[in-house]
Structure 1
Amino acid sequence: MSPEQYCQEKCASSGSSFYYSFLFLPQERRRAIMALYAFCREVDDVVDECNDISLASTKLTWWRQEIERVADGQPQHPVGQALQAVNRDFNLPKEQLLEIIDGMEMDLQQTRYLDFKGLSLYCYRVASVVGLLAAAIFGYQDRQTQKYAHDLGMAFQLTNIIRDVGEDARRGRIYIPMDELKRFNVPAADILNAKYSDNFTALMQFQTERAEQYYAQAFALLPAVDRKSQRPGLIMAAIYRTLLDEIRRENFQVLHQRISLTPVRKIWIACKTWIAG
């Protein structure tokens, strides 16, 4: 299996909504974004699938070394080899790839965030940096598109947090800021024990409104000259905002289940958004 095939399989098997936004890209850009996404999946899986914190930390250190090897032209992992190949056409700064790993490592160091400022750093590292790299792969002319990519990444991560509240709680993690739990009178124990309440619904509505605000900010920042090239991000936004609507319709019943869209629905949204341009 070639590095490119490995990355494609990693992307397809993840079941992520991101995969559907890649399908419309020209081959070279598709190869690059799949290499980037496969890298994100690899380092994220280290944290999610390794119960031994010391071992997970060691694996993330290995990946930092692998990014250095990518920069030096001597990668060992198929994903590293794929990143090196696409680096010839798309400059993916190693500093940003390393910052993504820094974000993943935050999951090993803390399971709570006191306020949104602290959470924002996490979201920036694991999502906005990815958005900046993706925007560069898609191509842009106006530097303001970087601001759009930053805010869109924030919106995506906030959507993930809303969707995964229950799943994260079963791993002992709560990403909703602790001061906001207190403001809405939702004890952390309610999240960990999957206990619904009117207060929890109000809390989740607040989280959703914040995510929607970031989507609105991102769309307002996207220059018209780059709208066509950035359509993959707009496809993802359409899928994720539809997911948010679905979660809201389900009255935020996210503690005991993972609400998602069917692949057919994602493809339909992707096609509709791509054609709309």
Structure 2
Amino acid sequence: MRPDQYCKNKLKESKTNFALPFIFLNPQKKKALIALYAFCREVDDIADNCIEYEVGLAKLDWWHSEINNLYQDNPQHPVTKALLEPVRKYNLNQNYFIEIIDGMKMDLDFNRYEDFKQLQLYTYRAASVVGILAAHIFGFENKKTLDYAHNLGIALQLTNIIRDVGEDIRRNRIYIPLNDLKQFKIDENDFKGHVDPKKLINLMEYQIKRAKSFYSKAFSLLPKEDKNRQLPGMMMGYIYYDLLLSIEEGNLANILNERTQLTPIRKFYIILKTILKIIT
């Protein structure tokens, strides 16, 4: 199987929102983004699926070595073979790929985060770095675009955390900072039984407010001259922002048992709305 086909299969299997803006990219950039996504999927699956810590760590260490192979023009895996051309063409920094792997190592090391400072490092490695790499592939003139990508990545990851809070708890993972739980007088053991609905609503409203602040910062930082190039990332940003609003408007008292999703029609409406924002 050709490396690019391997990566396409990874994208197809995931059924992710990540694929939606690809239709607006030229073939070279599309291939580069699919290869980047496939890499993220490979290492993320290790963090999600490895039950034994040592096995997961060994697999991530292998990927660390494989990234070194990639930057020595000797990739062995289909994904790194697919990344070889984009790395050269878009000048993608090796350290960003290592940061992503380190983020997945954090998932092996921690299933709780003491405070937002610790969580923010995780969100940077797991999402902001991906956004920065994507911004390089899309292209930019103004370096402030990288600050936009950094903050948007945090916003997207926080939205995922809010949406998946119940699912994560059932997997014995709590990404909401423990000092936030303490602030709203919720013990993590409450999640195993009954959580006071009012306390839960207040906690989730606080998380939503924090995520909104990162969306606001991200969109304010994107320079006008780079908006056309960064359109695919903006589409993703507005889709996830709409998802966040849908969560906020839903039943937050039952968020542990519900997973908010947007319909395909809604997503395409947001994409069209984003295009209109750029051209008008």
**TM-score, L = length of structure 1:** 0.96
1:260 maps onto 2:261 in alignment = yes
- For structure 1, which segment, 248-257 or 78-87, has the greater mean C-alpha deviation from structure 2 after superposition? 248-257
Amino acid at match of 2:259: R
C-alpha root-mean-square deviation of aligned residues, in Å? 1.4
Match of 1:50 in 2: 50
- Which residues of 2 match residues 86-235 of structure 1 at below 5 A? 86-193=86-193, 195=195, 197-235=197-235
1:270 maps onto 2:271 in alignment = yes
Q: Secondary structure at the residue paired with 2:24?
A: coil
Cα drift, residue 100 of structure 1: 0.4
Q: Distance in 1 between matches of 2:13 and 2:271?
A: 18
Q: Distance in 1 between matches of 2:3 and 2:271?
A: 26
Q: Distance in 1 between matches of 2:106 and 2:35?
A: 23
Q: Is the 8 A contact 1:194 1:256 kept in 2?
A: no
Question: Which runs of 5 or more structure 1 residues have no equivalent in the other structure?
Answer: none
Q: Secondary structure at the residue paired with 2:89?
A: coil
- After superposition, the C-alpha distances for 1:229-249 in whole angstroms (9 at most, x for unaligned) are 011111011110111111112
- For structure 1, which segment, 242-251 or 42-51, has the greater mean C-alpha deviation from structure 2 after superposition? 242-251
Match of 1:74 in 2: 74
Q: Distance in 1 between matches of 2:117 and 2:146?
A: 21
Cα drift, residue 193 of structure 1: 4.6
Cα drift, residue 196 of structure 1: 5.7
Q: Distance in 2 between matches of 1:79 and 1:268?
A: 32
Q: Distance in 2 between matches of 1:46 and 1:22?
A: 25
Q: Distance in 1 between matches of 2:176 and 2:192?
A: 12
Q: Is the 8 A contact 2:186 2:195 kept in 1?
A: no
Match of 2:18 in 1: 18
Match of 2:239 in 1: 239
Cα drift, residue 194 of structure 1: 7.0
Q: Distance in 1 between matches of 2:188 and 2:75?
A: 43
- After superposition, the C-alpha distances for 1:235-274 in whole angstroms (9 at most, x for unaligned) are 0111101111111122223312322112333233223323
- After superposition, the C-alpha distances for 1:68-88 in whole angstroms (9 at most, x for unaligned) are 111111111111111112223
Q: Distance in 2 between matches of 1:11 and 1:261?
A: 19
Q: Is the 8 A contact 1:135 1:146 kept in 2?
A: yes
Cα drift, residue 187 of structure 1: 1.3
Amino acid at match of 2:182: K
Q: Distance in 2 between matches of 1:35 and 1:197?
A: 43
Q: How many residues align?
A: 277
Q: Distance in 1 between matches of 2:194 and 2:258?
A: 10
Question: Which runs of 5 or more structure 2 residues have no equivalent in the other structure?
Answer: none
Amino acid at match of 2:32: A
**TM-score, L = length of structure 2:** 0.95
Q: Distance in 1 between matches of 2:125 and 2:5?
A: 27
Q: Distance in 1 between matches of 2:101 and 2:237?
A: 24
Q: Secondary structure at the residue paired with 1:186?
A: coil
- Provide closer, same or farther for how the CA distance between residues 190 and 217 of structure 1 changes in structure 2, counting only shifts above 3 A: same
Q: Is the 8 A contact 2:119 2:175 kept in 1?
A: yes
Amino acid at match of 1:106: M
- Provide closer, same or farther for how the CA distance between residues 13 and 265 of structure 1 changes in structure 2, counting only shifts above 3 A: farther
Sequence identity percentage: 48
